[in-house]
Structure 1
Amino acid sequence: MELEAEFTSEPFRGETDPPAHAVRARDAAENAGLSTQFGPLGTSARGEAEVLLDALPDIVRAALDGGATGLTLRIQHPGAPARAPAEPGSVLDQMIREVEAELGSRLAGLDRAGKQRAVRMLEERGAFQLRKSAAAVAEALGVTRFTVYNYLNREP
């Protein structure tokens, strides 16, 4: 069984370079053999449940040794509906459906570049001004919230 952990270490002051505690936590996850996605607001690590669970103490220790004052952790089964989708008929749902129609595919079926384009299109339409939109868009894309934030922070 595979699990995914999303973790955010603090403090984060918006530095141009990631803080040492975030880099060390990511490195600990990768050293354990987990696949990671590293972003400005957090890291996700994915792998076999036993490997991930065994690596958590090392990840936490690495973040703390790197200067973290706190660490937030969420664990889930990949693909599990942990986030609420956009309410059917809501403004956000309509925006998502319009982007899907323009791109000719459900958001979850797009490749990485397509998902990045979809996020940019949604951002241009003001989708991320709506409450809890990042979680709903992540659900529609089939990615983590942190991945959506990474896409938002990428250069077009």
Structure 2
Amino acid sequence: MSEHPFRSALRPLVDALGGDMLAPEEAGEDDVVLSWEGREVVAVRLPHLSASLGGILAELERRYGGPLAELDRATKQVVVRSLEARGAFALRHGVETVAAALGVSRFTIYNYLNRQRAAE
């Protein structure tokens, strides 16, 4: 049986968020059940916020073709701007997690953020 077109359309978004797609009858109370033309088609289970950051970092590694720690300084700054826009630094230990992934210190992350804010 082929996948419902609504599920197919949602798949890239759910994957980018690090979520899971379930049958509507498998949904838990924290899952989001989505309907199409009055019929429940899919349930989406969103990841815990701490897991989301790991998923975002993995997606960035795929985008840049390898470990983030191997990127040049300018590209690391672009990554930090992207992560700030996505709210990564609002998470507990977000700065530490990103610093470890980029192979830099927390101080360096704060410097990148301060430079960005000063430029704006």
| TM-score, normalisation: structure 2 | 0.52
Deviation at 1:122, TM superposition (A): 0.8
Gaps of 5+ in 2: 1-49
The counterpart of 1:101, out of the listed 39, 47, 62, is 62
1:26-65 aligned within 5 A: none
Higher RCO (CA-CA < 8 Å; seq separation 6+): 1
State the alpha-carbon separation in 1 of the partners of residues 107 and 61 from structure 2. 21
Higher helix share: 2
Aligned to 2:9: none
Give the partner amino acid of 2:81.
Answer: R
The count of residues paired between Structure 1 and Structure 2 equals 68
State the alpha-carbon separation in 1 of the partners of residues 61 and 115 from structure 2. 21
The superposition leaves residues 1-57 of structure 1 with CA deviations (integer Å, 9 ceiling, x where unpaired) of xxxxxxxxxxxxxxxxxxxxxxxxxxxxxxxxxxxxxxxxxxxxxxxxxxxxxxxxx
CA-based RMSD of the aligned residues comes to 1.6
Higher strand share: 1
State the alpha-carbon separation in 1 of the partners of residues 100 and 110 from structure 2. 13
Give the partner amino acid of 2:113.
Answer: L
2:55 equivalent to 1:91: no
Higher Rg of the two aligned structures? 2
Deviation at 1:99, TM superposition (A): 1.7
1:1-150 aligned within 5 A: 90-150=51-111
Percent identity over the alignment is 54
| TM-score, normalisation: structure 1 | 0.41
